[in-house]
Structure 1
């Protein structure tokens, strides 16, 4: 498991080594891969905006300003990149989370970010449902505030980038995927477990389930955190 301090130090190291801002690089990578998938790209933009809104969930009292800034960057960058595995050029398995993580690992993105993408929004449940749990072996699941917050950002954002409550979001998924489809079946099992992650994030940010502002899908602005 990657410690919080190590993960946050790695953000600064990556930015120094690449002479780049992690969030900006993540946004540009996502734009390059997902812009042709118009609806997916709207969703990703909405998730990134939502992650910025709830970034307080990954900040800690007692941490340095530099570490808290790095924590926010890690969350928002992972939001930009969480669905890149849907890009046609990256599809290699039936798990978009793993396909995206593989791409990021090969390109040297921070390991914590790679793991967040690999496990976002209950991907471990989908892997088991599809009989592909072995593909997750190289990506240890870290049940922490980053995982909770990325899951919250994703699962309170609809397919077109609009705000949805968690309840409405999962109802929408179960409607879009028919019974018997692996996505439908894994969400029947994962829903209460992932709901706990949403609740933890709400406690950290002082919000309540169902709160959120209806907003248009934001324009591409990867540097906004």
Structure 2
């Protein structure tokens, strides 16, 4: 397995999403910009977050959609085709509380066995923050506005709608923890 640095991750994501899913590519670029803001919080893990941020939605690409569950499809592609390291694939597979949606889809055992949840809460929270504070067009937003947008786009009774309602308090908590970490990092001497 190899470490996929942010420049290579950007290339993979662009090649996978830009033409077939330009709005998803805009979102991924915005998520990557949010990750850039978190470098002071993450220190040596900042490049890992930057890579995961830009790659988190590659599983939406039509050529990668095997199961139809983008976190799993994207992580499998990164592992099997790009030989990405374990931490990156686990972040992509589990981004934004994907285990909850996998449970609703009946595929949680596959996700858990192939890509166990990363135990690094700072990194997990950071990726949730980046994803859930970025609009589909790549602009910054609040986690509340993002959840409202997702529910409106998919419908409250859809699998995604049910998942996002279930995950909402966890998302807000992860975003708040990350905002607290940003505030602390901002006042620490460099």
TM-score, normalised to structure 1's length?
A: 0.77
Runs of 4+ in 1 over 3 A off after TM superposition: none
Query: What is the CA-CA distance between 1:57 and the residue it aligns to?
Result: 2.6
Structure 1 residue aligned with 2:31: 47
Structure 1 CA distance for aligned equivalents of residues 156 and 150 of structure 2: 11
User: Which of the pair has more CA radius of gyration?
Assistant: 1
Structure 2 CA distance for aligned equivalents of residues 154 and 181 of structure 1: 20
Q: Which has the higher helix share?
A: 2
Match of 2:17 among 34, 38, 61: 34
Structure 2 CA distance for aligned equivalents of residues 177 and 38 of structure 1: 19
Higher relative contact order (CA 8 A, sep 6+): 1
Number of aligned pairs? Answer: 180
Match of 1:128 among 100, 103, 120: 103
TM-score, normalised to structure 2's length?
A: 0.90
Query: What is the CA-CA distance between 1:87 and the residue it aligns to?
Result: 0.7
Q: Deviations over 1:152-183 (max 9, x none)?
A: 00100000001101111111111111122000
Structure 2 CA distance for aligned equivalents of residues 197 and 81 of structure 1: 20
Match of 1:187 among 157, 164, 169: 164
Gaps of 5+ in 2: 185-190
Cα RMSD of the aligned pairs, angstroms, is: 1.5
Match of 1:95 among 69, 73, 76: 69
Gaps of 5+ in 1: 1-9, 16-20, 60-67, 208-225
